[in-house]
Every structure is written in structure tokens, then in C-alpha cells.
Chains A and B, each alone.
Chain A
Amino acid sequence: MHAASDLLFRTLGDPTRRALFERLARGDALTVRALTERSGVSQPAVSKHLGVLRRAGLVEGRPTGRETHYRARPEGLEPLFGWMGRYAAFWEGRFDALEDLLKRMDQ
């Protein structure tokens, strides 16, 4: 579960990927071509980001004819919304804050 949420953070930490995922999350299945329009990113870059999103379980692709339609998988976000995923992220942040405090403390 911890590793799963790490992967999700890394995947969604990238603003372009997050924007692609949010675009798919809002509606229908879209092709790479449709996703590239208005994205401000090249088609190969969009394909690459979609591959990363797919490996993280956040999107799935369905071949239709010569093109593949991608759609968002809401269940892929579960590790972030379950308690364990939330706490894993919470404690990583608290450890950072603890190290920061230790630097400021006197011996």
C-alpha cells in the first residue's frame, strides 16, 4: 500500500500528467490525438505520460480500430484516499518537519 501511494505521488506530482488525468476524469474516453490538442505538449510526450499513468493504474486504454481510447480509472486513486495512503503521506511530511526541528534545536 505504501509503495502504491509513492508511485501515485510520483505520477501525479507532474503537472502535465495531472492535467491529462483530470481531463480524462472529467468525461469521455479520448484518443492521444484529442488529448494532444489544447494540451500544449507534443503527441509523443502525451503518449509517454499516458504510459506512466497507465502503469500507475490511473488510466486504461481500449483499442478501437487504429486508435486507442483512454479513460480514467477512479479506483486507481484508492491508495491516496484510504487511511493507509493518507497516513503514509502524512508521516513522510511529519518526518521532514521533525528533521527540520532537530536542525533548529540546541544539542
Chain B
Amino acid sequence: MTKSIVVEREMPHPAEKIWRALTSPALIADWLMANDFAPELGRKFQFRAKPMPGWTGVTNCEVTALDPPRTLAYRWGDGTESDSGLRTLVTWTLTPTATGTLVRMEQSGFRPEDEAGYRGMSGGWPHILAGLERVAGTA
């Protein structure tokens, strides 16, 4: 039994334009992360962020669905990058509306042990409070 995160927002832009932002490496780097993505089914690529304790900063990905300009899916994590062995699937769905496009992102495949296994709670209070500052600052 796994769980998902869903984020959904209507944006006042045509689906084709949003598709470009989701599938062009230079544009992806602008809003998401440095990457070597290419819009090809089966393409293996990486997102790269700053390494953190317990995480290499790399996310290994693979394109698993590509249907321009409607659906894009990639595996997010192959279980080797972090202590937790996170393996999820990110699916983007673009649906035209009267005034723009409904953008839906679903990240699925979180297992119950992914939550308990995360080391963030294990470092004691100073660690937690430092993390809190970081997280609350992004809210």
C-alpha cells in the first residue's frame, strides 16, 4: 500500500507552452533542477541538487510516459541515492480549461517505511530546530 502527493494548479497559459517548460532541459533547470533530461521514452536522466547528509543530491530518473502536450511521467529515484531508498513516480497531466491549463503533478509510490525511515528525526533537537528554520523559511 503506497501513498501519493498531488499538487494541482490552474495556470493562465496554453498547454503547449507549459509542455515546453516541462520538457526542455534549459527550462526545467530554471524552475526545477539541473538535469540531463531529453523527451524520449525510456530516457534515463538525473536531477542534481546540493548533496545533503544521507542524500547524494542526485535523483536518478527514467521517462516512462510521453504524450505531448498532455502526459509526462518519469521514475523519480531508483532507490540508490539516499539512505531511505526512495523510489517514486512523478506524473504530469495537462488539461486545457476555458482560461488556460490545469497542471497536475502526482508523485506516487511512497511506502509507509519511507516515512519512518527518514533520518531527519534521528539527529536530536538541534538538528530538528535547524531543519525547522529551513523548512519554515520556505513556507
Contact = CB atoms under 8 A, between A and B. Distances in A.
A89 B138 contact: yes
Nearest to A75: B121
B21 A93 contact: no
A98 interface: yes
Nearest to B84: A83
A88 B31 contact: no
A55 interface: no
Interface residues of A, number: 35
A74 B125 contact: yes
B17 to A, nearest CB: 6
Given A74-B125, A83-B110, A97-B32, A89 B118 contact: no
Contact of A89 (B3, B31, B135): B135
Given A9-B139, A105-B17, A25 B125 contact: yes
Interface of A: 1-2, 9-10, 12-13, 18, 22, 25-26, 74, 77-78, 80-84, 86-89, 91-95, 97-102, 105, 107
